[in-house]
Structure 1
């Protein structure tokens, strides 16, 4: 079984998209007014959860379920180009979902619930049969809620 290159996985996870939810989480931490004395690690975990974990998962899920369209419109992307071989796009989306949920346990029940909701929306946005992205209202609402609302 051929493994995908780290560079292809990084491209699949689209780090440029991580900034808004990471920033929203950090702003939420500041806006909460809660003293961070001795709790900075939780804030760092939350920022990582919002960006390189949950947001990256959403990117992998979306690219996996759009691979047929991307093969026509954007064949240079990691999945249609074959740089993410076979079913690795799906495996990475599932793995990153599990890693995200495991890390979310460090943030307690509210943090875990928020991460679970974000991941549920990520899958519902792209995966059949729901594919929220096919509806201008539901798809846009899911993105707004996930990228800024939940993260905040």
Structure 2
């Protein structure tokens, strides 16, 4: 039965069930990352006012959640094959609700952003266009989809910076490039996890077309280049030692994550473990940029809680969200 055929059943769902469906769609364990991207951007641009920091954090998070709603809307047919337990193919959320919620979150994100700097409009339009293009076009074509996801992280950093400055400062360029490369690599590891479903759905991802080993090798090279770019960016940071130190910690975690992804017979669940480590590692890496702009005294008190939040929710929710045969108690508690 298709997602559209089951969708009318949503009217018979209880309010807690509907709330749970939205909570799962948000992937809350990922939302700390866009928040840190915005924070890193605004601090690197010299922003310190509460309004600047609030908008820099909220706007990327709302845009990120919008991307999840829109992505699930466009991916509903693929998810019906590979991940039928997700909110739309399971009938717990209709495609129309996902589309409306995605548009609403994007509108709120734009309203917050342009309230402080109207110049952000073309950057925001590029980001939202990238979100739609990723799910509607690029994801099924292979590396262009991975690259578009990396671009979105760089744009989130830029939007955060533009809450405090007319345009992103040039000193952020190495960091933006580093995050672009890093998140392209992270998304590639995600396609290794989804290779069976992508093949069944006709998606021509890198591991489907060239094999898992080639995908992991390409991801490793991009990840290393991304780490190097962010380390290079420490040379122009206000506090270079702080940025370089946390970037080194991230490099160790990321190296372990990629080592997990390198067995000869890489399973989807092992690929998920690798990606979970990369989700944690990118929080440390983005906090390195925060430290480079504002010091350890700002970065570490932020990093600790977001790491705990992300890791705990990943443990409770992620396997159930990715695998239809995961234990039913995983991901069931909002």
TM class by shorter-chain length? 0.7 to 0.9
Q: Secondary structure of 1:83's partner?
A: coil
Do 2:114 and 2:121's aligned partners in 1 also have CA atoms closer than 8 Å? yes
In the alignment, the residues of structure 2 paired with residue 80 and residue 90 of structure 1 have an alpha-carbon distance, to the nearest angstrom, of 14
Query: How far is 1:125 from its partner?
Result: 0.9
- Once the two structures are superposed, what CA deviation does each residue of 1:94-149 show, in whole Å capped at 9, x if it has no partner? 2222222222222312333332221111011112xxx11123332122111112x1
How far 1:35 sits from its partner (Å)? 4.8
- Give unpaired runs (5+ residues) of structure 2: 1-7, 158-334
Q: Does 1:49 align with 2:59?
A: yes
Give the conservation status (yes or no) of the 8 Å contact 1:125–1:132. Answer: yes
Distance 2:150 2:74 in 1: 20
The higher-RCO structure (CA 8 Å, 6+ apart) is 1
* Aligned twin of 1:89: 98
> 1:95, 1:124 → 2: CA distance?
18
In the alignment, structure 1 segments of 5+ residues that lack a partner are none
Change (3 A) 1:108 1:92: same
C-alpha contact 1:42 1:106 (8 A) present in aligned 2? no
Q: Normalized against structure 2, the TM-score is what?
A: 0.40
The correspondence for 2:147, drawn from 114, 132, 141, is 141
1:124 to 130, 133, 141: 133
CA contact under 8 A between 2:42 and 2:56: conserved in structure 1? no
State the match for 2:176 in structure 1: none
- Larger Rg: 1 or 2? 2
Listed one character per residue, the Cα deviations across residues 36-95 of structure 1 (whole Å, up to 9, x for unaligned) are 2xx2222111211111x1000111111111111111211111111111135212222222
Q: Counterparts of 1:11 and 1:107 in 2: how far apart (Å)?
A: 31
Q: Which residue is 1:29 aligned to?
A: 42
| 2: CA distance, partners of 1:11 / 1:119 | 21
Distance 1:102 1:29, change over 3 A: closer
Q: What's the C-alpha RMSD, in Å, of the aligned pairs?
A: 2.1
- Where do 4+ consecutive residues of structure 1 move more than 4 Å? none
Residue in structure 2 matching 1:14, options 13, 22, 27 = 27
**Structure 1 74/102 Cα, relative in aligned 2: closer, same or farther at 3 Å?**
same
